[in-house]
Amino acid sequence: MSPPPNRPKAGDSPLGALAPAQGAEGSLVNLLEFDHEGLAAFCEQLGEKRFRATQLFRWIHHKGASDFSQMSDLAKSLREKLAKRAEIRPLTVATEQASADGTIKWLFDVGGGNAVESVFIPEDDRGTLCVSSQAGCAVGCRFCSTGHQGFSRNLSTGEIIAQLWFAEHHLRKRLNLAEGERAITNVVMMGMGEPLQNYAALVPALRMMLDDHGYGLSRRRVTVSTSGVVPMIDRLRDDCPVAMAVSLHAPNDTLRDDLVPLNRKYPIAELLDACNRYLEAAPRDFITFEYCMLDGVNDTPEHAQQLVKLVRDKVSCKFNLIPFNPFPESGLKRSPRERVTAFARILQDAGVVTTIRKTRGDDIDAACGQLAGEVQDRTRVKERISTRSPIRIHREGQHGWSDTQNKQETKA
Ligand code: SF4
């Protein structure tokens, strides 16, 4: 892959200053790993007062500084101590791609042959960053490009927040934003990975997004998207409730077992119970159900009716229908537009709020389900997916399912 013309290097700051050069990488503590509380503990270890952490945290996250000498309100002695012990180490940008519709996708090198992607989606009234939580994903959903790559490792807190740190401060400069204006107003944990399978790193990163001295995002504007890790949904409700999206994609367990294999462990009824418990603490009074529309697989009027029966008067929710972005290994096709509209109408007529997602960035493979990065698979997820039996295709005019795969129908 060829780097973009202004490729940033590790150590570059969006403010233009360089991070401290001394010390081998790894010998210095990366302060991006610490939430506010963690930074306070680090300051104490240095023999400093805890309140110094607030100043430091603001310089790093609010102002995008990566050079301690820029931090003019810190005592010189502290700046010197920090330079000896710590650094602010961003991710290396491997490539940047910009779509005709303004969407920007960055591929970040996270070492060991792995790279993860983040996507910035600008709209009139907001700027959304889609953030990755893992290099690959072990869940292995049929329709997801990341899932087909297998799983390498969890990202650290610093690697998760570094995506936002880079995007926010890089875009502020690039878009020439005035002091105090924000580039990123919303974060969705919908990039590569299942965030709730990387819970320990996720929660401090969420706290940094919400922190007024950090990115100051409201809980309603930070969304965790999960395929349904039930126990962790409960923990997130207690630890750091933010908006929640659930990858549902099927109205019954038989089909969902096949599309989202985690369903075999946490079936739909348990998942919906967890959603209701989550809503007791959630900043929004609904769960967003993501539903990827797959031609002949989950997009019939019967499926829509089953969904209505599943959720109406049972869980406060909105549906987001996602036109599938085909990739060759999936063997799946996008539902025709008219079928998606008809599906939405059935839900809407039954009083279930439903939107159809606009596809963004599909000319740069940045649309939903297309994020692939580079993953050194350390699991057998990839192999398991490739040996799965073909998905059953519903044929027009038939009730129920065809048992054999029709190659014509499933060829992407
Ligand atoms: S949809 Fe989400 S949970 Fe499923 S494989 Fe893709 S990244 Fe993992």
User: Which of 227, 394, 154 is CA-nearest to residue 294?
Assistant: 394
| 130 is known as an active-site residue | no
Beta bridge partners of 104: 98, 120
Domain chopping of the chain, boundaries: 29-87, 92-396+404-410
The pLDDT value recorded for residue 387 is 65
Query: From CA 126, how far away is CA 387, in angstroms rounded?
Result: 42
pLDDT, the chain, mean: 87
Identify the residue whose C-alpha is closest to ligand 1 atom 5. Answer: 147
For range 371-394, the mean pLDDT: 67
The top-level CATH class assigned to 92-396+404-410 is alpha beta
Q: Which residues carry a binding-site annotation for [4Fe-4S] cluster? A: 137, 141, 144
pLDDT in tens, 254-290: 999 999 999 999 999 999 999 999 999 999 999 999 9
Q: Which of 141, 148, 298 to mutate to test the pocket of ligand 1 (most atoms within 8 A of CB)?
A: 141
For range 44-53, the mean pLDDT: 93
pLDDT in tens, 116-126: 999 999 999 99
Ligand 1 centroid to Cα of residue 385, in Å, is 13
Residues at CB less than 6 angstroms from ligand 1: 137, 139-141, 144, 146-147, 192-194, 227, 247
pLDDT in tens, 171-229: 999 999 988 899 999 999 999 999 999 999 999 999 999 999 999 999 999 999 999 99
| 117 is known as an active-site residue | yes
pLDDT in tens, 85-116: 999 999 999 999 999 999 999 999 999 999 99
Ligand 1 centroid to Cα of residue 322, in Å, is 14
The fold of the 29-87 domain, in CATH, is DNA polymerase; domain 1 (1.10.150)
How confident is residue 407, by pLDDT bands cut at 50, 70 and 90? very low
Enter the pTM of the model. Answer: 0.87
Percent with pLDDT over 70 in the chain: 84
Question: Which of 51-60, 80-89, 171-180, 375-384 is least confident?
Answer: 375-384
User: Which of 42, 8, 55, 6 is CA-nearest to residue 165?
Assistant: 8
Q: Angle at Cα 71 formed by Cα 67 and Cα 74, nearest 5°?
A: 130
Is a pLDDT exceeding 70 seen at residue 41? yes
The pLDDT value recorded for residue 281 is 97
**Among all chains, which residue has been given the structure tokens 């946490």?**
266
